[in-house]
Structure 1
């Protein structure tokens, strides 16, 4: 049994995972969090509270202090406080804001700073190239589905086709029934449909049937042109508004859809762009600081709720290479994945699931074969800092 003590300060999922592995490896683990440390005294100073907390701890016996709170500001306060109190204690801290790292590491050789999101991101991207037997079968089903799916038409296309057929019928009718030449029939139908009516050709002396056809042509043309014009303007205005709001219908193929532009999503998208993948990001928060950054890098960003079927249709999930959902909520990731699959059951799903045991159950029962625990991946790097010191 190792006599060295490892102290973990943090209440994140990663902190508990690191603790579990250290206990398995036989370390004596002390575990607390910043709230408990501050609640033990009446002082509002974290430095004072830490000095009181460490009174009963032999700092010489500390093999490592892990600072793994969820929030960067808490880890930053802990780093500064511990460095000011104990310059020789080995510290490994979690920090997502990499801009601060070089300044903190300067002149502090006992401090290691790791970014859990950056560590885990490549593992999600690697899943794109891992293909299992079930997915090969899904690809065959997708090809069959596309081959057997009839092409659908919009209402504007349907009206336009009906209008065209009406004009063709009218040309044939007046050519054969009124004995007009082909060019005269086309000319007469055109000026009638356009409501010009020069009067050089008219139906004043024609029989009742021709006049009825002429009336129907006038009304049919007027209604068709009005509807096509109105619907086209409406479609244009809606698309303009949707574009302003960050929503539009994409026609990309073999692209990767990333749901969630948080800390992990940020590094996954960066990794995908570096690998020249076509990326559509679905982010619900239109005020996210990263949206413009990734648009400048060439990624598409759709503002909306990835759980909605319309959003999956707009980002063209049926032709996507994969869907990666890395929102900070297991149930939301699962809901997004299952909704995407219900929209089209052949899409490749890569989901962030905190609990790796739960991830295995999801593979077994829901056939989602790429469910990954980001904290499980990051914890290995955190443990390596301790193993490196003892080597």
Structure 2
């Protein structure tokens, strides 16, 4: 349950018991002042020390009616006072007061944040996202409805910043200081919820970067229409990755997965290919710098495979030899020129 709901519930109970206690104390004091024929202050003093069971003995009812009234007063009064103290003790002992103080401090901390990231949903995907962001030193505010998930995170991270609530609601996103946030990641379980969060986020901060998760392929277009800057489909990426692994076993095969996603989801005209340098190629026995591959073709060399050796991000001084396999990345239309340069003299003619 939300700590504020617990607090409001406690305050309501506390107010009712206090009002009942005051009414009982004042009513008894008035009746005693009349029955025992004493001034009201003396009667009030006796009423207070009686209900708190202090009992100094400096004043006692002399009449039968006064004593009978006191018995009734003690029967109900002590029960009310004990309940009052039990409420206070329960609130403190169960840690609700401590939790309330901690939540207030966290809210003040969130208000001071700027250019932070908001992650909506701390499920399986949300956990991975938060782990990566925290490793990168990014300030993250997590919004999650399930308190159990938050408790798990608190055991794992010392300075975990969170808000328990529904990320679809304006008030919750405002608590996360969305107006000053740099990025919002919508990682809720339902696509419809991520669409709603995206719409709300862009309404509250039109400049915020929104990265949203989509399970269904149809949701990708809806999220983009809602204002999402980037849409990620874990099932699409995972499926393509597994297919690529089963089809390709060479260097940087995993890049094909992400290139495919970039092409299908974002219409990016990019690809990654491996090209073999043949004997007699104009690239053979030249360094990367001398070959001017990037300048002449617009492609970036990601790696070179020579026999069983793999050279990732080779230096400009790396010498290209016949038989080398170049892994290049860039616009699809640029590969034709590099393939031509990699061929031998007969292949170029």
After TM superposition, the score normalised by the length of structure 1 is 0.39
Bigger relative CO (Cα 8 Å, ≥ 6 apart) = 1
Rg larger for: 2
